[in-house]
Structure 1
Amino acid sequence: MAGGERAVATLPKLIRSLRKQPPKPKTASYQQTLPSLRRAFSLYDQINLIDNVPDDQLRFQRYTDTGFTVNGVEYEGSLLCVGNLLMSWAPKKFSEITPDSLSIFKVVRPIPEILILGSGRNIEPVDPELRRFIRSTGMKLEAIDSRNAISTYNILNEESRIVAAALIPYGVSS
């Protein structure tokens, strides 16, 4: 036990000596080294999904009154996105969105878990018939203005969720 007691007695001295910083030189040219900025921001880099999107994944980068910029390509008019598939879409204003304009969701597999309807500049009420159709496909519905719709789409798509978006350009108001 004498050896064990001695080890226990020296432990606080060892901890104190490890905590002590090396003495600073007394010369005026001494400069304290700063921690690496890369190390300081490495955790941020690991969780910043927006800058690390795979090349084959759709990402909305901009919107205008007449269209959208997706993966560096400018598109005019309304768009329909299903997962990473992007296509031009016929409705020019929110009131033109009908079950027929969304009939692709009768055949698309796997069915997206959510459909984001981008209604242009203002949030518009969704026709009850359209709401019933979307519910019958098994999707949830989020109807919001197009600016917030593209942000929501980006986030859900980056999380590898199966998501769809039907978007009217931001400058359109019904």
Structure 2
Amino acid sequence: MLARSLRVAAQRSRSLLMPSRSVLAPRTPFCQPFSKAYDHDGKTKVSIFNTETDLGLMITGYSQYGFRLNNDMVLIGPISVFPRSVLSWNVNSFEDITEDSLSLFPTLEPKIDVLIIGIGDQAPPPALSKRIIEFMKKYKINVEVLRTEQACATFNFLNAENRMVACALIPPLHLTYNENDILQAKLKQKELYETD
């Protein structure tokens, strides 16, 4: 009787160890359920730098007329943005950028490490970049001359890293749209016209 019980138990254990034909893949350490792979609350958290006001001023948007900052301030025309303040910049186009229009940046205290210049939507002319770099080199300030879209992103990134950075921006004449911009506009339009 005891021997028979042992044989039945051995058969059952073998049948548990052997996969049946209906099982597509054996359970191995590499095929664990997803619930065991992630032990946290299951929520993904994303931080968007340019919406956090404790990181200083950041540029959240721009248009042909001006710029929007993360404190919901809208500024018209060319501007100079610093980590905690903003000023109007008296230029109309990249041709107006001279040593006089840049004279504010070397006089700032504490001294800035990087000056980012956004010249609108055209590519920076090499002669302009060279002239600006040579002028700022006298004051040991690094300069990046970029399109406005790239300048805004670069300023936000460096400001989030607590670098001593300043940004001088000219609004672009023409705007380019991507799929995300179109989707956001449709969602905003739907939200505006929804009735309760």
TM-score by length of 1: 0.69
Return the letter of the residue paired with 1:59. M
Take 2:163 and 2:64, find their aligned partners in 1: how far apart are those partners? 28
| Greater strand proportion | 1
1:113-150 per-residue CA deviation (whole Å, 9 max, x = no partner) reads: 11111010012222543321111111111111001111
Quote the residue 1:157 is aligned against. 159
Take 1:37 and 1:62, find their aligned partners in 2: how far apart are those partners? 37
Take 1:130 and 1:88, find their aligned partners in 2: how far apart are those partners? 19
Quote the residue 1:12 is aligned against. none
Unaligned runs of 5+ in 1: 1-33
Between stretches 92-101 and 54-63, larger displacement belongs to: 54-63
Identity %: 28
Take 1:145 and 1:93, find their aligned partners in 2: how far apart are those partners? 12
How many aligned positions are there? Answer: 137
| Contact 1:67 1:77 (C-alpha < 8 Å) held by counterparts | yes
Structure 1 segment 70-89 matched on structure 2, within 5 A: 70-71=69-70, 72-89=72-89
Rate the CA distance shift 1:38–1:79 in 2: closer, same or farther, 3 A. Answer: farther
| Contact 2:80 2:168 (C-alpha < 8 Å) held by counterparts | yes
Pick from 157, 169, 172 the counterpart of residue 170 of structure 1.
172
Is the partner of 2:150 in helix, strand or coil?
Answer: helix
Quote the residue 2:108 is aligned against. 108
Quote the residue 1:16 is aligned against. none
1:78-127 per-residue CA deviation (whole Å, 9 max, x = no partner) reads: 00123322000100100101111111123212221111110100122225
Quote the residue 1:64 is aligned against. 63
Rate the CA distance shift 1:76–1:40 in 2: closer, same or farther, 3 A. Answer: same
Rate the CA distance shift 1:76–1:52 in 2: closer, same or farther, 3 A. Answer: closer
Return the letter of the residue paired with 2:53. P
Take 1:37 and 1:78, find their aligned partners in 2: how far apart are those partners? 49
Quote the residue 1:129 is aligned against. 131
Unaligned runs of 5+ in 2: 1-34, 175-196
TM-score by length of 2: 0.62
Higher relative contact order structure (alpha carbons within 8 Å, sequence separation ≥ 6):
1
Is the partner of 1:117 in helix, strand or coil?
Answer: strand
1:21-55 per-residue CA deviation (whole Å, 9 max, x = no partner) reads: xxxxxxxxxxxxx699973346x44xx35266234
Quote the residue 2:146 is aligned against. 144
Is the partner of 1:134 in helix, strand or coil?
Answer: helix
Is the partner of 1:99 in helix, strand or coil?
Answer: coil
Return the letter of the residue paired with 2:120. G
Take 1:87 and 1:119, find their aligned partners in 2: how far apart are those partners? 16
Quote the residue 2:24 is aligned against. none
Structure having the higher Rg: 2
Rate the CA distance shift 1:51–1:68 in 2: closer, same or farther, 3 A. Answer: closer
Take 1:52 and 1:74, find their aligned partners in 2: how far apart are those partners? 14
| Contact 2:49 2:55 (C-alpha < 8 Å) held by counterparts | no
